[in-house]
Amino acid sequence: MPNEPRWLSAREDRAWRAFKHASYQLDVRLSRELLQDSGLTQADYEVLAVLSDPSVERMSAQDLCATLTWEKSRLSHQVRGMQKRGLIAREPNPDDARSVVVRLLPAGRRAIEEAAPAHVEHVRQHFIDLFSPAELDTIATLNERVLRQLADEPSEAER
C-alpha cells in the first residue's frame, strides 16, 4: 500500500492558508497602489530598483535575471516594454558580444525616485508597522528558513 498523505492538521491548514492569502492580498494591494501612484507596475519597479542602486546602473541581462529570479523570457518581455517607455536601454555587452546589458536611463531614475517614497510608505502601512521589531525578526528568520530549504532542494523540473 502506498504511503498515506500527511494531511495538514487544523493548525497547519490555518497557518498555510493565512500565509498564502495574506501574501497574495498584500501583493495585489501594493501592486495596485504602486500603479495608481506612479504608473509603474510591480515588475517595472523591481527592475528599476535593481538598476538604480548607485553601484549598478547597468547590468547584463543574465545577471539581472539571476538577481530578480526571473526566467529569461519574462525579463526580455519586461525590458522591451520598459525600453519603449524610455525607462531603460538595451545595449551590446562589451564583455560578451552574445549578450546585452540593460542600462537605467534618466527617465527610469526619475520614475523610481518619484515612486519609491509612496511605495515604501504603503509597505510600512500594510506590513512593517503591524509588527514589533521582534516579530519582524521572527518573520525574517522563518522566511529565510523556507528560502534556504528551497535553494537546497532541487525542484521536480531540475531532477
Q: Is 15 a domain residue?
A: no
**Distance between CA atoms of residues 87 and 50, nearest Å:** 13
Residue 17 lies in a domain: no
When computed from its CA atoms, the radius of gyration of the chain, rounded to whole angstroms, is 19
Pairing state between β 58-60 and 88-93: unpaired
pLDDT at 94: 85
At 28-68, the pLDDT tens digits run 999 999 999 999 999 999 999 999 998 887 899 999 999 99
Residue 100 domain-assigned (yes or no)? yes
Classify residue 52: in a domain, yes or no.
yes
pLDDT at 44: 97
86-138 pLDDT tens trace? 999 999 988 888 889 999 999 999 999 999 999 999 999 999 999 999 999 99
* pTM attached to this predicted model: 0.87
Annotate 68-81 with DSSP letters as a single string: HT--HHHHHHHHHH
Report yes or no on 13 lying in a domain. Answer: no
pLDDT, residue 157, reads: 62
Q: Is residue 143 part of a domain?
A: yes
List beta partners, residue 104.
Answer: 88
**Residue 1, pLDDT above cutoff 60:** no
Cell of 77: 518581455
Domain assignment present for 157: no
| pLDDT for position 154 | 73
Does the residue 71 lie in any domain? yes
40: domain CATH number is 1.10.10.10
Give the domain extent around 92: 30-152
Distance of CA 78 to the CA centre of its chain: 13
If one counts the domains in the chain, the total is 1
If you search the block for the grid coordinates 537546497, which residue do you land on?
152
Residue 59 β-bridge partners: 102
